[in-house]
Amino acid sequence: MVNPAHHGECSRIEEDSTYTAEAHHILAKRQLLWFRLWQLVPAIATAALGTLTVGQMVPPWVGYLGLLTALVTAVGTVLNPQQGYYEHASAAKAFTAIKHDAQFLRALLANGVTNLTEPVKCLHDRFNDLVQVAPLTKDWAFERARRRIRAGIHTHDETA
């Protein structure tokens, strides 16, 4: 006999993983934007302005602008938004994988497979372990994820 608690646990993990993965995708995209604005663009500008200044092809005040862009690059290096991007992107991928595993187990349960106590427990443990190590999400990102999912960006497969 199929344990209805297993179906409920898989559904809960699938739904929680869907929302959490989407929130992490949103945060990763934001961190990538911050990386470009705080590190990449100022670094390129610093290099270009430094080259022009050293070549004495521009007025001396351009050197001060180069100094300003170098300071922005330094602040960006300390803030390290690129690390935040990788942390959130990795968490999003891990939650997506757990979501797919939960969908698979739910499909097995719907097809009458009965001996899934251990796989469901393992899925539960993996989900809890990931929650403990994943970077925190922001309320605004979770709300945006909720709106996107409810708008049909992601759909919960009710057929299984």
d(CA 58, CA 147): 50
Sign of torsion over alpha carbons 71, 33, 147, 120: negative
d(CA 77, CA 68): 14
pLDDT recorded at residue 154? 61
pTM reported for the whole predicted model:
0.77
pLDDT recorded at residue 66? 82
pLDDT recorded at residue 6? 87
d(CA 97, CA 102): 9
pLDDT recorded at residue 99? 96
pLDDT tens-place string over residues 6-48:
889 999 999 999 999 999 999 999 988 888 877 778 888 888 8
Task: Measure CA 7 to chain center.
Answer: 27
> Any idea where the domains of the chain sit in the sequence?
4-144
Name residues whose C-beta falls within 8 Å of residue 144's C-beta, 6 or more positions apart in sequence. 23, 26
Single-letter amino acid code for the residue at 113: V
- What CA–CA distances, in Å, run from 61 to 45, 56, 66? 15, 11, 9
Looking up tokens 């009965």 gives: 114
42 within 8 A of 69, measured Cβ to Cβ: yes
The DSSP annotation for 81-145 comes to: HHHHHHHHHHHHHHHHHHHHHHHHHHHHHHTT----HHHHHHHHHHHHHHHHHSPPPPHHHHHHH
Q: From first to last of its 160 residues, what are the pLDDT tens digits of the chain?
A: 668 888 899 999 999 999 999 999 999 999 888 888 777 788 888 888 877 777 777 787 887 888 888 888 888 788 787 888 999 999 999 999 999 999 999 999 888 888 888 999 999 999 999 999 999 999 999 999 999 999 987 654 443 3
pLDDT recorded at residue 155? 52
